[in-house]
Amino acid sequence: MTTKTGRPRWRTPILALAAFVVALFVVSPAAASITLPPGSIPVPTSGSFLYMNSEPDDYIGQGIEQLYTSADSSITGNLSDDGGGFFASAIQGAYDHWWYVNITAPAGEQLTVGSYENAERYPFNSAGHPGLSVYGDGRGCNTLTGRFDVNDLQRAPTGELLVFDATFEQHCEGGTAALYGRIRVENPPPPPDTTPPTLTLPGDMSVEAPNTTGTNVDYYVYANDDRDPNPSLSCTPASGSFFPVGTTTVNCQAEDESGNVATGSFLVHVVPPLQFGLAVNKTGSVNQKTGVATISGTLTCSREISVDVSGTAKQLFARRVYITGSFYLNVDCKAPSTKWSVNVTGDNGRFGGGDLSAAIDAYGCELSCHSDSVTQTVKLTGK
């Protein structure tokens, strides 16, 4: 570090009582407008460095002219992923001196070469105002006003920062004393990008159509790249397209800015609506010793599905009391039909020969859920 001392004044910041008028409009990047005050330390024109020239009453710089270069300090800086902010540090020794420089465009904008006026303290800069914050060695502003010029900004084709150069003027706590400075970071070119993007595919899909023709199918595919934040991505057929009944191959391709290509595919199986039904036999049996009734029937299904069959049975006894019972069973229905049978025990007595009223529900979920209900009089015969 090279330093030149003016009149250093080590004190805590005092809010200036004099009004500091700030324009309410924000100027878009334009021609450079900040001129560094004369100093005793030559300012480099290349390489990575942080130069600061503080006016005597500036709390942050303490009236000192100082220069940090890559020869005596670790100078690093990078852009944010959205390109809207630049963040740098200059660390000398084991934190003998440490400084941070944050420079951002107004929210939602990208930094470009040009002049930014009416800056406020980052990250608390209000909408429409650029952000600025230069702090270190244990000192920082609670509030600030300022401006900065982005003199140079170069990126690699893959987006990495190569060169950033900016001149700044910062007024801490609304005071008139300024901290002037210049930050420049030169990063080496990144190695060639030879890695294709990573495709995330949904895997093979099965979709039930509402009819025998087909249906529109939505799916989600993602592409990520370690160097390109926005690789191109396309799939054929596209998500939301009409897919006919049958099997269709979806082919996807992602490409990054370096021309690396990743491809992948998955299958979309579109099946016609499931044909589903429940039938109950009109005759059943009852065990005369135990009073347990047996009822049966058939499930129809155009493809395999697991079905829950449940219901209640009731029988009028002596023309004044109903014997009731409930039941449940699970049936793996295999196309085109599967028979089922269940024993029903009365909750309040024994079933006997004669008519029994059975209310039965069938419910199963495959690609979609299906149900059917039957109320059937079953004639029980003894055995």
Closest CA to 227 of 268, 189, 193, 272: 193
Q: What percent of the chain has pLDDT over 70?
A: 92
Q: Are residues 30 and 155 in the same domain?
A: yes
Band of residue 108 on the pLDDT scale cut at 50, 70, 90 = very high
pLDDT digits (tens, 9 = 90+) for 42-55: 999 999 999 999 99
Q: How many domains is the chain partitioned into structurally?
A: 3
pLDDT score for 319: 81
Domain boundary among 158, 186, 214: 186
Contact 216, 240 (CB under 8 A): yes
Domain boundary among 227, 255, 271: 271
Q: Are residues 259 and 296 in the same domain?
A: no
Residue 83 lies in a domain: yes
Report if pTM > 0.85.
Answer: no
Q: Are residues 228 and 336 in the same domain?
A: no
Does pLDDT of 10 surpass 60? Answer: no
Residue 103 lies in a domain: yes
pLDDT score for 376: 96
**3-state SS record for the chain:** CEEEECCCCCCCCCCCCCCCCCCCCCCCCCCCCCCCCCCCCCCCCCCCEEEEEECCCCCCCCCEEEEEECCCCEEEEEECCCCCEEEEEEEECCCCEEEEEEEECCCCCCCCCEEEEEEEECCCCCCCCCEEEEEECCECCCCEEEEEEEEEEEECCCCCEEEEEEEEEEEECCCCCCEEEEEEEECCCCCCCCCCCEEECCCCEEEECCCCCEEECCCCCEEECCCCCCCEEEEECCCCCEEECEEEEEEEEEECCCCCEEEEEEEEEEECCCCEEEEECCEEEECCCCCCEEEEEEEEECCCEEEEEEEEEEEEECCCEEEEEEEEEEEEECCCEEEEEEEECCCCCCCCCEEEEEEEEEEEECCCEEEEEEEEEEEEEEC
Q: What's the domain range around 246?
A: 198-271
pLDDT score for 302: 96
Does pLDDT of 6 surpass 50? Answer: no
Q: Are residues 216 and 346 in the same domain?
A: no
Give the whole-angstrom CA distance, residue 41 versus residue 53: 9
Q: What is the mean pLDDT of the chain?
A: 91
Q: Are residues 308 and 367 in the same domain?
A: yes
pLDDT score for 173: 95
**Average confidence (pLDDT) over 343-363:** 96
The CATH number assigned to the domain holding 267 equals 2.60.40.10
